[in-house]
Amino acid sequence: MDYPGEPAGMGALSVRIVIFGGLMTLVAAGLAQAQRAPVGGFGSPPDAMIFYVARGAADACGQGCSEWIAAEGTVQWDTHKRLIAILDRQAGRKLPVVIHSWGESNLNVATRLGRILRDRGVDTTKGSTEAEACNGKTEAECFALKRPGGPLDAKLNLSDARCDLACVLMLVGGVHRSLPPGARMILSGMFIRNRLAPNVSDERREGLTVRFGELFRLYLRDMGVEPELLDIVDRNSESRRQIELPPAEWIRLRIVTASSL
């Protein structure tokens, strides 16, 4: 269910944050994408985020950068395991992570991904990776090529780069973090829902809201981001609307680093 007045379909970037009370998880709904084969692991949905190494031309991912890790899909309960696995395979190389997220992402795990990226000293940005091997292939065929983790020859597509809250929470884990020119940061509010039992008591809802708010503020402080970011999300929750945060606010709130200007 979308918020009133929000567009539907591929153009919709409504970010709905859902707290699964029983499993203590947060989920954000974002852009829909075509379904694909399951990533693996019991209960892992087909659109779960995958990670693979991509390589392009000189300076393809920034000055002196020709290889990166593509993060592609929906952040799910087990996504952190796949991130750790691909980082471990890099033998100490600190390849930047390029985020392309969509769907109902688990925000608790998104913060865990951010902490992993910070601990490993990795840089982050937003964009979509276009693997050359996928040219002329179906979605399923393309996914099968990416799933082993690369490396794959590719190029970055930075046009129409839109970053919702799940994207932001991953992004701020980067040591150096940036968004490409023309990027849009879209934030909306959050509400609580239990995936196993649709009815959540007002008392339980209030308690979970306070608890998760504390955890998110701690995470933002640890990442060097102004906790005011969560105040913006809270106001959107009350008004049930989404806003676009302008680039000047990205800097003021320290969502991106000064070097990304």
- Give mean pLDDT, residues 145-165: 90
Instruction: Report the interhelical angle of 107-119 vs 202-222 (nearest 10°).
Output: 20
Q: Output the pLDDT for position 9.
A: 33
Give the tens place of pLDDT for each residue, 15-69: 344 444 334 455 555 555 545 555 555 455 668 899 999 999 999 998 899 999 9
Q: Output the pLDDT for position 5.
A: 33
Q: Which position has the higher pLDDT, 245 or 235? A: 245
Mean pLDDT is lowest, of 50-54, 127-131, 155-159, for 155-159
Question: Strand, helix or coil at 56?
Answer: coil
For every residue of 232-256, DSSP letters joined together read: HHHHHHHHT-EEEEPHHHHHHTTSS
Q: Output the pLDDT for position 204.
A: 66
Cα–Cα distance, 260 to 178 (Å, whole number):
5
Give the tens place of pLDDT for each residue, 132-147: 999 999 988 998 899 9
| 238 pLDDT more than 90 | no
Q: How many CA atoms lie within 13 A of 54 on its CB side?
A: 31
- Give mean pLDDT, residues 127-132: 95
Contacts of 24 (CB under 8 A, 6+ apart): 108
Q: Output the pLDDT for position 17.
A: 43
